[in-house]
Amino acid sequence: MKRCGECNVIYEGTHDICPTCGDRLETVGTTSGGQSGASSSTRDTSSARDDDSNRFRREARPEPQPRDEYTFEQTEGLSVVINGAVAEANTQQFYQSKLTKIVRAVFAGEPYQLSHTSFVTIFRVEEHARRGYPEHARDISVFGNMNNIFTVGDDVTVRAKRSRNKYVAKSIYNHSINSRVSIQANIPAMLIRLLTLFLVFMAISLVRGVASADFAAIGTGLASFFMPLIIVVAIGWYIKNLFKRKK
C-alpha cells in the first residue's frame, strides 16, 4: 500500500504516482485487512480536514460588534456628564432680599443671583431607550430663569456637579437645535463664602484688638494730638472776636 503525502490518501496496487496531484507515493505498512486500511485513510482525511478548519477559524477576523449607545452618565474629573432627553422642566421664582441670598449662598451653596427675583429651574433628563421605558433619569437644577428654554424630548448633554445630593448644571448643550444653552450670570457661592469668612476674620481681629488695647495710652496719645489743635483754634477764635470788638 502506498500513501500520497499531498492528498493524504492511501492507494492499493502498484501505483507510484498519485493520479490526483501527480506527487510520488510513499510506501506504508500493510494492515490486517482492507477495511482497516480504509478506516485509517478515512481517519487521516478527517484529521486533515479538522486541522484545516481550526486553522481557518484562527485566521478568520472577528465579527464586528454592534455599536453601543453612548453612556447615560459618566464622571469626568469633578464634573458629571449626563446624556439624554428632557422629560419635563419646571421653573420657580422667589422674591428674596440681599441678606437672604447671602445666607442661602453661605449655608445652602446657592449662587448669588444678581436679579431682584431668584429663579430655580429643575428639569429631568432620561436616558435614550430604543424600546420600552428608560431605566435611568436624573433631576438637574439650574439657578436662573430657564422658562420656555427646553422642550420635552430635546436631546441634551449636561455637565453638572454634585452638591448636597443634587445635581447642579454648569453647562448645557441642546443637540436638537445644535446650540449651547446660556445660563444666567451669578456670583458663585464659593466666592460669597470666602468673602464672608474674610469679614468674620476681620471682625474677630478687631474685637480682639479692642479687648487687649491700653486705653490709658490711647487717651494720652489722643490728648497729645488734639490738645495743640484745640489751643490753636481757641486762640484764633479769641483774636477774631477781639477785632470785632474794636470795630
Q: What band does 44 get if pLDDT is binned at 50, 70 and 90?
A: low
Angle, in degrees to the nearest 10, between helices 189-211 and 98-108: 100
Of 117, 86, 88, give the one whose Cα is nearest residue 100. 117
Q: Is the pLDDT of residue 157 over 90?
A: yes
Q: Is the pLDDT of residue 50 over 60?
A: no
Q: How many CB atoms lie within 10 A of CB 176?
A: 13
Q: Angle 106-107-111 (CA atoms, 0-180°, nearest 5)?
A: 50
What pLDDT was estimated at residue 225? 75
The total number of residues shown for the chain amounts to: 247
What pLDDT was estimated at residue 67? 37
Q: Is the pLDDT of residue 9 over 80?
A: no
Amino acid at 164: R
What pLDDT was estimated at residue 223? 75
Q: What band does 58 get if pLDDT is binned at 50, 70 and 90?
A: very low
Average pLDDT over all residues of the chain: 77
What pLDDT was estimated at residue 239? 72
Q: Is the pLDDT of residue 52 over 60?
A: no
CB 143 within 8 A of CB 119: yes
Q: Which helix (H) or strand (E) holds 198?
A: helix 189-211
What pLDDT was estimated at residue 191? 93
What pLDDT was estimated at residue 85? 92
Q: Where are the domains of the chain?
A: 2-59, 73-190, 193-245
Beta strands in 155-208 (DSSP E): 155-162, 167-174, 179-181, 186-187
Q: What band does 56 get if pLDDT is binned at 50, 70 and 90?
A: very low
Q: Is the pLDDT of residue 26 over 60?
A: yes
What pLDDT was estimated at residue 233? 82
pLDDT tens track for 72-128: 889 888 899 999 999 988 888 888 888 899 998 898 888 898 888 889 989 999 998
Q: What percent of the chain has pLDDT over 90?
A: 17
Grid look-up 479692642 returns 210
CB 144 within 8 A of CB 150: no
CA dist., res. 143 & res. 104, Å (int): 13
Topology of domain 73-190 in CATH is OB fold (Dihydrolipoamide Acetyltransferase, E2P) (2.40.50)
CA dist., res. 3 & res. 9, Å (int): 6
